Amino acid sequence: MTLTLQKRFLLTLVPLLAFLLILGSAGVVLIYWLGTRADAILRENYDSVIAMEHLGDALERIDSSFQFTLAGREVQAHVQYEANWKAYRESLGVEQGNITLPGEKELVDDLTVLTERYEQQGKAFYARAAGDPRRNADYFDAGGLLDTFTKIKSVAGQIARINQDNMEEAS
């Protein structure tokens, strides 16, 4: 049985066309998968960055409540203190549920420990009587509220930074 030139040509081209079709389809699927994965990475990282921004804003307001207290505006300060802990905890909760990067868990654990310390220090600060001179020490001394505030800002900044860096890499 002899094959005509046309049949030989078809027998050569059909497998190549089938291979190209399979390869092209796999490429399209891979590009689609990578696109959706990149979107998920960007979304998760963006959520962490926003959570750390909101946490930082609430932290600033909590810190300013201590300063208001030291300036003699006790009522205004305590209202601000209580109101901003809710927003702070919500932002911390978002980040605790959105750990996606290497090293992020350790930073979130550090942030959680610092938060507990800061809250306990804040409660002790407000447990003192108005005008108690020890409040200045509670705020300004080494290991006091101001030190803890600074450490929290640093850790929250590191969390935001690693998420921003990962977003830049993914994009």
Residues 6+ apart with CB under 8 A from 16: none
Report the chain's C-alpha Rg in angstroms: 29
Question: pTM of the full predicted structure?
Answer: 0.75
pLDDT tens string for the chain (171 positions)?
677 878 777 778 888 888 888 888 877 777 666 666 666 667 788 888 899 999 999 999 999 999 999 988 888 888 999 999 999 999 999 999 988 888 999 999 999 999 999 999 999 999 988 888 899 999 999 999 999 999 999 999 999 999 888 888 766
Residues 6+ apart with CB under 8 A from 135: 69, 70, 125, 128
- Structure tokens, 49: 């960055």
